[in-house]
Amino acid sequence: MTKVGVIQMTSGPEPEHNLSFITQQLDKSRDAGIDLVLLPENALVCGKKEDYHQHAEPLGDGVVQAKLSVLAQTYQTWLVVGSMPIRRENGVTTTTLVYSPEGRLTAHYDKLHMFDVDVADAHARYRESETFMPGNHVVLTETPLGKTGLSICYDLRFPHLYAELRRAGAEVILVPAAFTATTGRAHWETLLKARAIETQCWIIAANQGGVHQDGRETWGHSMVINPWGEVVAELAEGTGMLTAILDHKITAAVREKMPLTQQARFSSVFKNEKAKDEKADGEK
């Protein structure tokens, strides 16, 4: 068995303010025996395009990432930053960062699916692709929770990604998010349960929750769901940390009784835009 902590936040545009809240939550749980802590999407910066680009750092380098590394070391826990802006050669990605208790950046994942949609809320128009460039890699990494798949927010609506993570061996899938109140009320829990049931994985979901400085309202309801689709822990409203025990015997039992991967007769193909572009360049 392993223990996970999930921090629900109402992040703003300034990293220092958000880091202060994260530190407070980690300090409260110092003696709780938590193996891994998950932060939500946009944990360090949640604001407008200018805010993300102003605070973006090169991968593995920068003041904010150095402080995150120190936090993991100080509290001797695996720390998964749901996402923060990372500066690349051709733009900025919104990227999950995975730190070991030694403060080492062991894995990262660039969000694949950009939230370009119209929502019936005060914000109305969301065009994430105007701020970030999408990633091009599916990422599975080792953590104390087992083989851990990485995803971010809008990815949740694309089951092929989760099927690919399961095919690659995922036992747990992380879903840091900033789901809006409107879409969250309609679909958040339903989608999380579906991904758990389909993949027979533990789903650990950390959501932003509340009204943010730019007026955006997020749904909260961070939760942990077992491979049978049951919610074992939830923080509906407000901010703070929820904890849950992951019993990996449940995973083995569910998969043995219902061997979905052996019975599946369909497969999916990942559209890697970067690989396609590189091939086209080579043919010129």
Each residue's pLDDT tens digit, 272-282: 876 655 554 55
Catalytically annotated residues = 41, 111, 153
Mean pLDDT of 34-49: 98
Q: What is the mean pLDDT of residues 167-187?
A: 98
Could you report the per-residue pLDDT of 219-270, keeping only the tens digit for each? Answer: 999 999 999 999 999 999 999 999 999 999 999 999 999 999 999 998 878 8
SS (H, E, C) the chain: CEEEEEEEECCCCCHHHHHHHHHHHHHHCCCCCCCEEECCCCCCCCCCHHHHHHHCEECCCCHHHHHHHHHHHHCCCEEEEEEEEEEECCEEEEEEEEECCCCCEEEEEECCCCCEEECCCCCCEEEHHHCCCCCCCCCEEEECCEEEEECCHHHHHCHHHHHHHHHCCCCEEEEEECCEHHHHHHHHHHHHHHHHHHHCCEEEEEEEEEECCCCCEEECCEEEECCCCCEEEEECCCCEEEEEEECHHHHHHHHHHCCHHHHCCCCCCCCCHHHHHHHHHHHC
Phi, psi angle pair for 147, to nearest 5° = -70, 115
Strand 209-211 to 172-177 pairing: unpaired
Average pLDDT over residues 90-99: 98
Contact 176, 152 (CB under 8 A): yes
How would residue 126 be classed by pLDDT, with cut points 50, 70 and 90?
very high
Instruction: State the average pLDDT over residues 23-41.
Output: 96
Task: Give mean pLDDT, residues 144-170.
Answer: 97
pLDDT of residue 174 exceeding 80, the answer is yes
Mean pLDDT of the chain: 95
Please give the domain boundaries of the chain with CATH numbers for all domains.
Answer: 2-283 (3.60.110.10)
